[in-house]
Chain A
Amino acid sequence: MRSHDTNIGAADVDEWVLIVAPFREDEKYLQQFLGIHGIAARTSAGELPLADMLAQQPWTVVLTQEAFTPANLEIIGASLADQPEWSDIPFIVLLDADKQTNTSVSTLQSVLPSRHLTLMQRPIRTAELLTGIQSGLAARRKQLHVRDYLDMQQTMQRELNHRVKNILSNVFAVYHLTIHQSPSLEAFRQTFEGRLSALVRVHSILAASGFQSTQLADIARQTLAPYASANVPDRVRTEGDDVAVGPSSATTIGLCIHELATNAAKYGAFSVADGCVSLTWQMSEAGGESIAKLVWQESRGPGVKQPTRQGFGTMFMQSAVRGLRGHVEFDFFPSGLRCELRVPVSRLAA
């Protein structure tokens, strides 16, 4: 609301009453009366045209019978017709006890059908007028709460729609990438289920954090949880500094760990009963920025050797880590695979 020293009667400039009382000094007296009770009030006389005042969304309008000119009623009717669904500006109408009253009320009701309308007959007691206006302001406050709630609901619907589309895109991508490399329907089923399960685990972690950032340790532990063994205490070891991971990077890192784990289950440490994997990470400085270095180390597994061609997991990790402005290296030592990922901490947090 615009600030007019002569028109503001209260500290709270958000709540205000529009007074339309053209007879003599009625507007001035009403404004002073409301000011005494801490209610901001503005008048249409000498400020802006009535249509412009109504466009500024008063919280309540006080209207006297003398304001019922055809021109004013047309302006009021037109401005209220444009109100959004949640809005119903309260009108308090001060009437005279004369023979014109019934006609005036009928005219007003035709302009304000089914609207928040309160009729008061003059002479009016100040307590009645004050409580009537306070009641109007309270009703308007509730309407604005409804508006805020509807806005929030719309925002949440948009966000939900966006997330669902992202999830569906991910499922599409997993499906097409997996079916492309599967030699049989059974192989497809196993790999597809595994990758979807990895997505579900990361999603659960993110949901628990309210889709804010989560800890790298949580992603590592949860993604590798299916591979832990009660018989081999060091089957899976995860350890490292506190590293915050944002929602998008969490999915990337979770899927990279999943690909390493499924590769280990097929060809590496998880393919034998005694094999074990350690996933550790630490922070370091390089080129003026913090880098998270993750090391995947397999041991006590079957001897591994450099594959003759790159598989899905390797290509995915290279693409995914490149997308995080990082690097990935694979070393196929006889004792087991070692994979090192280096990713800027700032990108992980995104």
Chain B
Amino acid sequence: MVILIVEDDALNAFMMEQCLVEAGHSIMGPAGTLAEALALIEQRKPDLALIDINLGHSASGLDLARDIRTRWNVPGLFVTGQVDLARAHRADALGLLPKPFTPRTLCGVVSYLQARFSKMERAESVEPPARLELFEYATG
């Protein structure tokens, strides 16, 4: 999958990038601000966006998740410690992976979502990873 990482923390972004590249995914970003994320999407549409909520320049990943879903139909997954905020905007994203998480957890979550996107029969019967919280947008 082509995955956009929207995360203004360099260490977290790098860890996500490393493990997803090793799992065979293609990475866009990391983008540290709303504007940078939108500029990247203008160039190429990702299959999935991993979105931190608290971005630089006082911007919010909440706005980004809504924007990319409505304008480009790009599904977003909140990767954040601000779980209450994420849940309050459940209509805008597939779900939530609370921080902190391990590379293995992230790869498991992305692999599960990839299976769902490709409508693999297996995905219907597979339980979502324990730490992944799916919202109605994903399950509906």
Contact = CB atoms under 8 A, between A and B. Distances in A.
Contact of B101 (A166, A172, A316, A324): A172
B81 A165 contact: yes
Given A165-B81, A172-B101, A323-B30, A246 B18 contact: no
Contacts of B100: 165, 168-169, 171-172
Interface string B8-43: 111111110111000000000111110010000000
Nearest to A180: B18
Contacts of B103: 176
A200 interface: no
Contacts of A176: 15, 19, 102-103
A350 B13 CA distance: 16
Interface residues of A, number: 30
B67 to A, nearest CB: 19
Interface string B87-103: 00000000000011111
Contacts of B30: 319, 322-323
A255 interface: yes
A229 interface: no
A30 interface: no
A59 to B, nearest CB: 32
A248 B13 CA distance: 12
A90 to B, nearest CB: 35
A316 B10 CA distance: 8
A177 B31 contact: no
Contacts of A251: 9-11
A162 B9 contact: no
28 contacts: A165-B81, A165-B99, A166-B81, A171-B100, A173-B11, A173-B14, A173-B15, A176-B19, A176-B102, A177-B18, A248-B9, A251-B9, A251-B11, A255-B10, A255-B11, A315-B14, A316-B14, A319-B30, A320-B10, A320-B13, A323-B10, A323-B29, A323-B31, A324-B10, A324-B32, A325-B36, A350-B8, A350-B56
Interface of A: 161-162, 165-166, 168-174, 176-177, 180, 246, 248-249, 251-252, 255, 315-316, 319-320, 322-325, 347, 350
Interface of B: 7-15, 17-19, 29-33, 36, 54, 56-57, 81-82, 99-103
